[in-house]
Amino acid sequence: MADVIPKVVVVGRPNVGKSSLFNWVIGKRIAIEDPTAGVTRDRLVQRVDLDGRVFDLVDTGGMGFDDPDGLTTQIDRQIESGLVDSALVVFVVEVRSGLLPADREVAARLRKAGGHVLLVANKADDPKFDVHAHEFDALGFGAPVVVSVRQNRNRDELIEAIVAHLPEAWPEEEAQGADLPEMKLAIVGRRNVGKSTFVNALAKEERVITSPIAGTTRDSVDVRFEVDGHSFLAIDTPGIRRAKSRKTDIEFYSTHRAQRSIRRADVILLFFDATEPIGKVDKQLAELVVEGSKPVVLVVNKWDLYAADVKKKEWEQYLRDTFRTMPWAPVEFVTAKSGRNVKTVVDTAQRLYRQSQTRVPTAKLNTILRGAVETSQPPADPRGKPVRIFYATQVEVGPPTIVLSTSAPKSVSEPYKRYLLGVLRKQTPFREVPIKLFVRGRTADGPGE
């Protein structure tokens, strides 16, 4: 099915508003919008469904930009990869600056590549600019669609033009759920722990730019991949720095994107560098994962550089001693550069995802609960009487959420809650994932099913 989804690729010279247009079309702020040239480096891909027409919209870096970090070749390679097999290229120019030599260079490159091109003149914030858009007719791609992302002008016309260039829609029964990923993985960690290298190992191609330069990845990049015939989505996130070390707006946006990626993922892969001690940023990320009640795999990368010096059990104990709020989280050791144990990490993540999506019948929960209460009685209420626990029921998955009905909710102490969670973890499928436990007063309806 993946080959059926057409690609619509947004290109142009720097600072014409490609990322803003990308966000505008999909209706979400996915790509970083910043006046600094060269912010976008990797290909950003979002699946779009407009009036039943499904396509992948691809944002790319600015053509002809000389990256100050020496990543020009890699950025250019990402653009070329985006153009391959594209159903449509949306060539964005900017009305207010007029036709520039850089626009002609982009046009020449697109003519050489071949394929369908839709010319879009952006930043026509006032209708008076519309007449100037015809200057771009000279590029040879016909009259442009004139828009203003900033003023929300002519979005419908742009969408109509994009859809008109797409291949015919496939039958509805084939389109339903078009290659939806079975699980979303967010790969998070501080800078230079090898997150992008790991994503490329999953995708089996240079899907995101890797570099020893800290902060190479700026956006959260969604990458689809397959394992054993199943589709997954990996979210490569920017490396996070300590708040006081953030020097630019771009770094602030990157941190925000990483935090949002944690929220929308099903399972988190929290990466560590085997050659570096755990630092404050690692602990901050762990707190975000715990706050979000997300299943997490603690992934120690670059193990080939450290394996001769330390045993795995020692590093695992180091993690356990540091992150006491997630003793249930499994630990995996990988070498992303060579692909060693990459599939094992995915298999572990799948196991956690299945656990987090499981529902335990109310009858079984209450059998477990009765046994726990018999083994260790609840604390007393303000009158000195033991708190009565009536029943428990699971109300949600992802994370598993259990509601406990009691005679005195405020008297159920935190230590007793931890005791109950420990029992539940041992006797339910939720052995390696977080469990939410809510305590409330008795309701008239009872547990239900």
447, 391 contact by CB (below 8 A): yes
| 80 vs 101, more confident | 101
Amino acid, res. 20:
S
Q: String of b and e for 327-352 (b: at least 16 CB within 10 Å)?
A: ebbbbbbbbbbeeebbeebbebbbbb
Determine the pLDDT at residue 181.
Answer: 55
CATH 3.40.50.300 maps onto the chain at 2-175, 184-356
Query: Which segment of 2-6, 152-156, 313-317, 440-444 scores lowest on mean pLDDT?
Result: 2-6
Q: Which residue has the tokens 């800078």?
A: 191
- The answer on pLDDT for 317 being more than 70 is yes
pLDDT-wise least confident of 85-89, 124-128, 352-356: 85-89
Architecture of domain 184-356: 3-Layer(aba) Sandwich (3.40)
Alpha helices in 176-214, H assignment, sequence order: 195-203
Pick from 148, 118, 117, 116: nearest CA to 132: 148
> In this structure, are residues 286 and 326 in contact, taking their beta carbons and an 8 Å threshold?
yes
pLDDT at 366: 95
The pLDDT value recorded for residue 245 is 44
Q: What pLDDT is recorded for position 74?
A: 55
Of 285, 198, 289, 300, nearest to 243 (Cα)?
285
CATH 3.40.50.300 fits domain 2-175: yes
Residue 267 pairs in a beta bridge with 185
The pLDDT assigned to 248 comes to 45
Q: List phi, psi (to 5°) of 187.
A: -100, 110
What's domain 362-441's architecture? 2-Layer Sandwich (3.30)
CATH 3.30.300.20-classified regions of the chain:
362-441
Most confident of 66-75, 103-112, 165-174: 103-112
Which tokens sit at 391? Answer: 């029943």
Maximum average pLDDT range among 32-46, 60-74, 219-233, 398-412? 398-412
336, amino acid identity: A
- Average pLDDT for residues 226-253, to the nearest whole number? 61
Mean pLDDT of the chain: 80
pLDDT per residue over 270-300, tens digit each?
Answer: 999 998 999 988 898 898 889 889 999 999 9
pLDDT confidence of residue 77: 64
**Closest among 89, 94, 231 to 161, alpha carbons compared:** 89
At residue 82 the predicted structure's pLDDT band, cuts being 50, 70 and 90, is low
Check whether 33 has a pLDDT greater than 50: no
Strands (E), 262-364: 267-273, 296-301, 331-333
Are residues 262 and 295 in contact, defined by beta-carbon separation less than 8 angstroms?
A: no
Q: Report DSSP letters for 91-158, one per residue.
A: EEEETTT---HHHHHHHHHHHHH-S-EEEEEE---SGGGGGGGGGGGGGSS-SPEE-BTTTTBSHHHH
Please check the confidence at residue 90 and state whether its pLDDT lies above 80. yes
pLDDT digits (tens, 9 = 90+) for 35-81: 444 444 456 778 888 767 888 888 877 675 454 444 455 555 666 66
Helices 195-203 and 342-356, interaxial angle, to 10°?
Answer: 90
